[in-house]
Amino acid sequence: MKIWQRDLSTTTVSTLHPPYGEIPGWRKEGRLVVLPDLSLKHKIMFHVHDAPHKHPNRAATLQQTLQSYWWPGAEQWITKYINNCERCHGNPPIIRTTSPNSTPLQTEIHEMQERYQATLEEWNTPHAIREEQNSWLKDGCLVIPPDKELRRRILQTLHNAPTAGHPGRDETFIQVSYSYWWPGMHTWITDYVAGCATCQQNKNITHRARTPLYHIPTSENALPFQQVALDLITGLPPNGPYDSVLTIVDHGCSRAAVFLPCAMTVTGPGVAQLYFDNVYHWFGLPSKVISDRDPCFTSHFGRALANKIRVKQNLSTAFHPQTDSLSE
């Protein structure tokens, strides 16, 4: 790059960020300077020229590429690249494989096309596919019949193979759609990549680490239903006067649960009555109650439960000796 800066008048501008991480921030007349990397040039040409349903002519490709990129001899290199493009010269599509030991996919695809001849004829009108030289094509791409094993084999070749490198969803779709087509292929490829075990095991973690849940402590000698959790399951189909279920879970000992039918409009005293009739007679008062209800509901529940066992509450605020002068 230093030699290009001296001989070809390129400059570096750190405030401009390139679209690809492989291209440093070097500019010539406002265009990105591309390193002498063949794979990087092929990547640029793939998105400018070879992407599905593109393949513009030589003038349009030169204009679009040279408008954003520059490297020595770029015009000659792009012209040679277009001259070697088989799709631009009307040649039949080639079967793209990345594994040297794979079986011929082309023969297998033709056999499947003959087997699903009736299905492909039904696709002819709605999907605008055509038959040329005993092969079904759509926009120059081979049409893949509705055979899951064949589609899986294509994805194994262009995604799972060691030389494919397990690309992401979008890159896999571009690689497959370069030579193949079938209805709903984007959704099919998305599901395939999402279910790839290798991709899931090695993908980068992009979300922040979540705060671990706070575990409510329990004593080692906890008794059943001494620490309970209350919750309401609402929105159920009505069954007489009931449309909800009150769940009372033993949080500290056995994790047993009691399910009691109730109405969604049940109040704190109503929950206390259900608790008193179905739990208190067996296990007594709880030492801790866990609930996501508001303080009013909790206060009403505690006050009603205390009234059931004939405990009179005489609560007071601070600095009121008229109530608790003896304890003070």
| DSSP conformational letter for 312 | P
Residues near 323 by beta carbon (within 8 Å), at least 6 away in sequence: 314, 316
Report the pLDDT value the prediction gives residue 15, as an integer from 0 to 100: 37
User: Using one digit for the tens of pLDDT, what is the confidence trace for 52-85?
Assistant: 666 788 888 888 888 888 888 888 888 888 887 7
By three-state DSSP, how is residue 148 classified?
A: helix
Q: What are 132's strand-pairing partners?
A: 135
160-189 pLDDT, tens digit each: 888 788 888 888 888 888 888 999 999 999
- Residue ranges, comma separated, of all CATH 3.30.420.10 domains in the chain are 227-308
Residue in 214, 170, 161 with CA at minimum distance from that of residue 189: 170
pLDDT class for 5, splitting at 50, 70, 90? Answer: low
The topology (CATH level 3) of 105-197 is Endonuclease III; domain 1 (1.10.340)
Handedness of CA 85, 87, 89, 94 (dihedral sign): positive
* CATH 1.10.340 domain position(s) in the chain: 2-83, 105-197
Closest alpha carbon to 293 in 214, 245, 230 = 230
Reduce the secondary structure of 159-190 to three states and give it as a string.
Answer: HHCCCCCCCCHHHHHHHHHCCEECCCHHHHHH
Can you tell me whether residue 296 is helix, strand or coil? helix
Quick check: pTM over 0.75?
A: no
| Residues 62, 56: Cα–Cα separation, whole Å | 10
Q: What is the dihedral of CA 134, 136, 140, 143, to 10 degrees?
A: -140
Fold of the domain spanning 2-83: Endonuclease III; domain 1 (1.10.340)
pLDDT of 286 strictly over 80: yes
User: Within 10 Å of residue 309's Cβ, how many Cβ atoms?
Assistant: 10
CATH superfamily placement of domain 227-308? Ribonuclease H-like superfamily/Ribonuclease H (3.30.420.10)
The Cα–Cα gap between 322 and 324 comes to 6
Q: What are phi and psi for residue 176, nearest 5 degrees?
A: -75, -45
Q: Distance between CA 25 and CA 29 in Å, rounded?
A: 13
Q: Which residues pair with 139 in a beta bridge?
A: none
pLDDT digits (tens, 9 = 90+) for 212-244: 777 888 888 888 999 999 999 998 999 999 999
Q: Determine contact, residues 264/244, Cβ cutoff 8 Å.
A: yes
pLDDT, tens digit (0-9, with 9 covering 90-100), for 16-41 = 344 444 445 677 777 888 877 777 78
Q: Which amino acid is at 67?
A: Q
Q: Which residues of 217-234 are buried (b: 16+ CB within 10 A; e: fewer)?
A: eeeeebebbbbbbbebee
